[in-house]
Structure 1
Amino acid sequence: MGHVDARDTIGGVHQDPADEQSRGDDPSAARAGAFAWRLTPAETVAAFVRGALLIDIRSTVDRKEQGWLPGAIVLEPSVLEWRLIPHSGGHIPEVTSYDVEVVLVSRDGEESSVVAARLRELGLWRATDLAGGFWSWRAAELPVGGDPAPMRG
């Protein structure tokens, strides 16, 4: 594995960027994996408990079929940059600065990984995602259900 510094281990999971770049021919996927902050389900729960925003970016159909993430804010992927960037004019109230910790959850972790990388490029340096997405949440037998979270944009 390559050099590991503090930025590579804040989320707890280190992935070697060289490994990510060799796995496919999509350069955006390689960039997304290079940051190496992808969280496990347990780390996602810990992040939420300490105040991170849990953002569910799954489709309405997926949420209805698979279940709701307790405490998650539901946002459509197409509006994330506008709703999560401070001072955008349309950001959600929970985003008070570029230091806010954001954990994105998609169906399988692919979309959320790319989106988290984009948010970091825009200055949300603590944006990350749940590795394996909602499927890893379910596999870890974490709670699902409760009242559906309202769509916020």
Structure 2
Amino acid sequence: MSVVNSITAADAVSHCEHDHAVIVDARPQVVRHQGSLPGAVVVEPTDVRERFTPTPSGTFPVVGDPDTEIAVVSVTSQAPVIAEEIADLGYRNVRYVDGGFRALRNLVQR
């Protein structure tokens, strides 16, 4: 199992604005009624393994470069677990957003 760290919402937004990162919104559909995150890759938590597993040819399907920074947003208790799951599939720069969706939404709405 990999060890992933958190990233602040401000850093996640800044990295995305400079094309250094991708936000993965892994909140369940029933929770996404709170709103969306522009530009985020939306993945159901139960589909993470299927969507992020490298293809038989070795390519990474959701985020093409395994070195791309991935900032995971999910329900608070699931975010670190989902980030770990993605990292275990071969992505090397995975973090979870401290404060989750609310923290990101507050920054994006400014």
Q: Distance in 2 between matches of 1:107 and 1:60?
A: 11
Residue equivalent to 2:24: 55
- In structure 1, the residue matched to 2:9 is 41
TM superposition shift of 1:88: 5.4
Summarize the Cα distance change of 1:135–1:88 in structure 2 as closer, same or farther, 3 Å threshold.
farther
Using a 3 Å threshold, how does the CA distance of structure 1 residues 125 and 98 change in structure 2: closer, same or farther?
Answer: same
Runs of 5+ consecutive residues of structure 2 not aligned to the other structure: none
Q: What is the aligned length?
A: 106
Question: Higher Cα Rg: structure 1 or 2?
Answer: 1
Higher strand share: 2
Shift, 1:107, TM fit: 2.8
What TM-score, normalized to structure 1? 0.59
- For CA contacts below 8 A with separation 6 or more, give which structure has more relative contact order: 2
In terms of fraction of residues, the more helix-rich structure is 1
Quote how far apart the aligned CAs of 1:72 are. Answer: 0.9
Structure 2 length-normalised TM: 0.78
1:74–1:88 distance in 2 versus 1, CA, 3 Å: farther
Alpha-carbon distance in 2 for matches of 1:99, 1:62: 29
What is the percent sequence identity of the aligned residues? 31
Distance between the aligned counterparts of 1:63 and 1:88, measured in 2? 32
Q: In structure 2, what is the Cα distance between the partners aligned to 1:83 and 1:106?
A: 16
2:47 and 2:7 map into 1 onto residues whose CA distance is 23
Secondary structure of 2:12 counterpart: helix
Residue segments in structure 1 that go unaligned for 5+ positions in a row: 1-30, 145-153
